[in-house]
Chain A
Amino acid sequence: MTASLTGSMASWVPLMPLLLVAIGGFALLVVDALSDEHAELATLSSVVLFCAGALAAVLATGKGLVPPPSGVAPYLAVGQMSQFWNATICCGAGLSALLAGGYLHEHALERGEFYALIVFSAFGAMVLAAATDLLSIFIGLETMSLGVYSMVAYRRGSPRAAEGGLKYFLLGSFAAAVLLFGSALIYGATGHTDLAGIGQSVRDGHANLRLLILGMLMLLSGLTFKVSAVPFHMWTPDAYEGAVTPATTFMSVVVKTAAFAVLLRVILTCFSDELSASLRTGWPGMLAPMAAATMILGNFAAARQANVKRMLAYSSIAHAGYILVGVVTLYSGDEQVRQTAVSGVMFYLLAYTVSNVLAFGSLIALGSYAKEAVSYEDLAGAGRRHPLAALPFVLGVLSLMGFPPTAGFLGKWYVFSAAIASGNDLLWLVIVGVLSSVVGAYYYLRVIVYLFMKSPEPGAAIAVPMRSGYVVLALVLSGYFVLKMGVTPAPYIDLALSAASKLG
């Protein structure tokens, strides 16, 4: 009796990161209603997210990972891979909450609901990344997106925020409707809503092919919208620019991670048979040109921006392209190559999370009330006046550029080498990726040039760095991981590899 009770208690352990975040979100709402000090909400939300992330990181190693309660299994996978995604998502969301603690206070925008939105959106992202059923994919996607729409439109008095939020909301709901229509078609074609059942039916050839292909295309379109791949990227620069910077950080790291996680899972469990994973007849034929277009357009458009936030928005599009190369590599029939590709994408997203937090966090740190740093001109000379505030920015852009020995370099290395290992069919994609990241070097280095080698125009408004323990903590944490993952990547890539071999 006691043994079975402890046994059933233990089976909840793999769900703890999810439950912790959900309970933390409700606790935040209560604390917000009862107290009028907002600073503690930033502490509380980041503590909740970091605790959940740390727990997920431990579970991702496979220690203490037991099968979840029976009702959970058809809808959510809580194995090593999901825990890795949970850890990445919680890390990105927790760092965004820290940045929000500094930014919202400095710019007199502090309202408690922002932290609750971060935590609930992170919960949606975790559900999405763990989803193994079309239903839980849709619920996770919407839970995440509804929070993010609100975060983008959060700054009430700003027309830009309302406009960014409106554009993101309209296009996002349209994409969700397309994804849903695709899900319904797949259900009709196979008779299943769970991914495993769909995959079985596709492999057996029982599925109605016409409905299935249409459904697959619509489902993948809906998901690639969320990762802002070309041609579904139009909302990205506007939403990123209109949103308050911590919300931009959250969108660029957490939403992208969760969307790629579910994209990988859908492809691996449902569409890995020979017909649908062929370069000519299946999804790789759609995703490979998409990856190339995303890398090219993202990098060239980023090079033309005068606004650093918009530049980082296009840079996030370009990064989506690099990661898509890793996703396309899953067409390979070789199990070894597929696992390398999956672990490469996982490592890339973790590296991208900390690098992007570093870049956006430094942009936040370099501005203060009514003197927000947004354009390159605002950064002019800031590195010479405030070297300590500019240093993390340098590290962040170097990592985004893929400069060794940073985390970003190894992320690109793993993804591209997996693509090369899959054979000659993807060589062109890797060449496009390497050439377009050379263009990327131009606009990332431009940040450093402006920081250290330019002087502000006479009479121009000069951005003054803010003082905030929260922002400093976020920068120190992300900077530490950018260097640590770049210098000693072995524990992280081993973790990703062992998670990729299980697919749970």
Chain B
Amino acid sequence: MQIELGHYLSLSAIVFGIGAVGFLVRRNVLVQLMSIELMLNSVNLMLVAFNRYMPDNHAGQLFAFFVIAIAAAEAAVGLAIVISMFRLRKTVHSDRADTLRH
């Protein structure tokens, strides 16, 4: 079987969907962070796949490198906030964060 652009796109969309559903359904902040990583990586896959079929320049691959770097920075800030919340509330469940109400 020949692997075509459509296959890559379908895979990428499925991974993005798993990430999005995981983010919305799960209440453990760490799992939500992992879901966001899944979503970002599905984008990387798609960028590189598009670039493979549009080889005029390297815009897609270049983009993917930046996404990887920024995902790392995002995880660092996110984990810092999670630790700060865990110290105060002894929980990593986002639905237990309910002090702020209107």
Query: Residues on A close to B: CB < 8 A?
Result: 134-135, 138-139, 142, 146, 149-150, 153, 156-160, 162-167, 169-170, 173-174, 176-178, 180-181, 183-185, 187-188, 191-193, 237-238, 241-242, 301, 304-305, 310
Is A193 a contact of B59 with CB atoms below 8 Å? Answer: yes
Is B88 a contact of A305 with CB atoms below 8 Å? Answer: no
Interface size bracket, B side: 35 or more
Is B85 a contact of A166 with CB atoms below 8 Å? Answer: yes
Specify the chain A residue showing the minimal Cβ separation from B74.
A173
Is A181 a contact of B70 with CB atoms below 8 Å? Answer: no
Report how far A237 CA is from B101 CA in the complex, Å: 9
Report how far A177 CA is from B35 CA in the complex, Å: 10
Asked, given contacts A174-B36, A193-B63, whether A150 binds B80 with beta carbons under 8 Å apart, the answer is yes
Is B81 a contact of A166 with CB atoms below 8 Å? Answer: yes
Say yes or no for B18: interface residue by CB 8 A criterion: no
Is A174 a contact of B23 with CB atoms below 8 Å? Answer: yes
Interface of B is mostly: helix
**A306 → B minimal CB distance (Å):** 9
Enumerate B30-82 residues with CB–CB distance to A below 8 Å.
32-33, 36, 39-40, 42-43, 46-47, 50, 54, 56, 59-60, 62-63, 66-67, 70, 73-74, 77-78, 80-82
Specify the chain B residue showing the minimal Cβ separation from A239.
B100
* A residues near B88, Cβ cutoff 8 Å: 157-159, 162
* B residues near A174, Cβ cutoff 8 Å: 20, 23, 36, 39
Asked, given contacts A174-B36, A180-B43, A304-B102, whether A163 binds B85 with beta carbons under 8 Å apart, the answer is yes
* A residues near B99, Cβ cutoff 8 Å: 159-160, 163
Say yes or no for B10: interface residue by CB 8 A criterion: no
Report how far A135 CA is from B60 CA in the complex, Å: 10
Tell which of B59, B73, B74 touches A192, judged by Cβ atoms closer than 8 Å. B59
Is A310 a contact of B102 with CB atoms below 8 Å? Answer: yes
Besides A138-B63, A138-B67, A146-B73, 5 other A-B contacts (C-beta < 8 A): A135-B63, A159-B89, A163-B85, A163-B97, A180-B40
* A residues near B81, Cβ cutoff 8 Å: 149-150, 153, 162, 165-166, 169
**A57 → B minimal CB distance (Å):** 31
Specify the chain B residue showing the minimal Cβ separation from A193.
B59
Is A184 a contact of B47 with CB atoms below 8 Å? Answer: yes
**B22 → A minimal CB distance (Å):** 11
Report how far A185 CA is from B12 CA in the complex, Å: 11
B80-96: CB near A (< 8 Å → 1, else 0) gives 11101100110000100
Is B77 a contact of A187 with CB atoms below 8 Å? Answer: no
Report how far A180 CA is from B46 CA in the complex, Å: 11
* A residues near B46, Cβ cutoff 8 Å: 181, 184-185, 188
